[in-house]
Amino acid sequence: MAMWRTAKHAIRSLASTVPDVSPFVRQLHASPGSKKIVGVFYKANEHAAMNPNFLGCAEGSLGIREWLESQGHQYIVTDDKEGPNCELDKHIPDLHVLISTPFHPAYVTAERIKKAKNLQLLLTAGIGSDHIDLKAAAEAGLTVAEVTGSNVVSVAEDELMRILILVRNFLPGYHQVVKGEWNVAAIAYRAYDLEGKTVGTVGAGRIGKLLLQRLKPFNCNLLYHDRLKMEPELEKETGAKFEEDLDAMLPKCDIVVINMPLTEKTRGMFDKDRIAKMKKGVLIVNNARGAIMDTQAVADACSSGHIAGYGGDVWYPQPAPKDHPWRYMPNHAMTPHISGTTIDAQLRYAAGVKDMLDKYFKGEDFPPQNYIVKEGKLASQYL
Ligand SMILES: NC(=O)c1ccc[n+]([C@@H]2O[C@H](COP(=O)([O-])OP(=O)(O)OC[C@H]3O[C@@H](n4cnc5c(N)ncnc54)[C@H](O)[C@@H]3O)[C@@H](O)[C@H]2O)c1
């Protein structure tokens, strides 16, 4: 067994919240010597050379290749993450660090973790590490960390855009123009102002708060549901009202925005019954995670008109298969997973990953808010 797979004693002193945590954990920080680091990113092909700051793609490789190799580390980058003979699986048995992004997620299952005998560190270039089996990672003593805050502005801006796109019934108008048509009535009968509408965010953490701040000048009625009440100053600044009971908030909302992580508690939270509690004609924006919704329930409610519009960039699985029902449901404003991978966001999460790798090599701690799994324990919102 590799030497960094032991350290029995270290974990015992931690009050772990993961049931039956294995006492066999891997060291938190790098042991000396060359490391094998694998990055899984989407491929950019002809787009790769179009912008020198395009760091988030496989070709850009977060801009850390030279830095890693100059220190004697091996850096393998691939977009091939699935299927029996995929490139990622070839490296699982001997990699030390796996970097992945939510945009092109490498699904790190318990089975992969079991095979990854040298693995110590799983880094998410971005926010949201639900593509990793976090319990299995905790039980194996792995560290999971993400670049908290790196793309929150990017996502909040995108949500505001999708809200407006849905409220104004923008996309059918755009498609008319492209197809050479002109039919004002077909758009106008279901286009509204945002002013005066009730918008509720489910989750008011970093992104939710930024969205509320951005919505304030639109003179909406703002509501939020979260497991935690926000600071009174921010409530005052945004005018957003706390709703402790999600099911009491939903029927009040014209627009619902999802802004919480995918956890065991939030998976499938918006099923047929919960959607039925929402206003007929509700608009939903979800840039959080696709699996928070029941896929078929959303498609059915869009078809029946109970949901008047659904927009977002997150799907399950990703890439979304060709037959994913959300591609074909009416009144959607869906794109591939793009909101958190603007060039500005890429620069921030690339810098954040480099900083964490540097700290890992030096045996230093990461910024505390970056840890999702540390010393056998999951971050509180994942419990
Ligand atoms: N589409 C993208 O590109 C993209 C980019 C960044 C983040 N995200 C997603 O957005 C999520 C939120 O990001 P953030 O930076 O705002 O995270 P955050 O941790 O700052 O905020 C999450 C909020 O959700 C709340 N929450 C957690 N579980 C809850 C529950 N069961 N019920 C009610 N509230 C709950 C938390 O208390 C917290 O306030 C991420 O976890 C990720 O899944 C998507």
- Give every CB contact of residue 33 below 8 A, 6+ residues apart in sequence: none
Is there a catalytic annotation at residue 337?
A: yes
Does 29 reside within a domain? yes
Q: What is the structure's pLDDT at 3?
A: 32
13 located within any domain:
no
pLDDT at 33: 87
Residues 99 and 57 in one domain: yes
Mark whether 275 and 357 lie in a shared domain: no
Ligand 1 pocket: which of 147, 207, 267 to mutate (most atoms <8 Å of CB)?
A: 207
The answer to whether residues 75 and 158 belong to one domain is no
pTM: predicted TM-score of the whole model, two decimal places: 0.92
Whether residue 105 has its Cβ less than 6 Å from ligand 1 = no
Determine whether the shortest distance from the Cβ of 140 to ligand 1 is under 6 A: no
Alpha-carbon distance of 13 to 264, in angstroms, equals 26
Q: Residue 21: its pLDDT value, please? A: 42
269: which 2 tokens? 């939270």
Residue 163: CATH number of its domain: 3.40.50.720
Q: How much is the pLDDT for 32?
A: 73
Per-residue pLDDT at 27 = 56
Write the pLDDT tens digit of every residue in 246-272.
Answer: 999 999 999 999 999 999 999 999 999
- Number of domains into which the chain is organized: 2
Between the CA of 279 and the centroid of ligand 1 the distance, in Å, is: 24
Cα 42 to Cα 39, 104, 318, 327: the distances in Å are 10, 6, 11, 20
- Distance in Å, CA 260 to ligand 1 centroid: 3
- What is the reported pLDDT for 26? 58
Residue pair 354/348 in contact by the 8 Å Cβ criterion: no
- Residue stretches of the chain with pLDDT short of 70: 1-29
Measured in Å, residue 202 CA sits from the centre of ligand 1 at 9
Query: Do 290 and 325 share a domain, yes or no?
Result: yes
Q: Are residues 44 and 179 in the same domain?
A: no
pLDDT digits (tens, 9 = 90+) for 33-76: 899 999 999 999 999 999 999 999 999 999 999 999 999 999 99
Containing structural domain, residue 262: 152-334
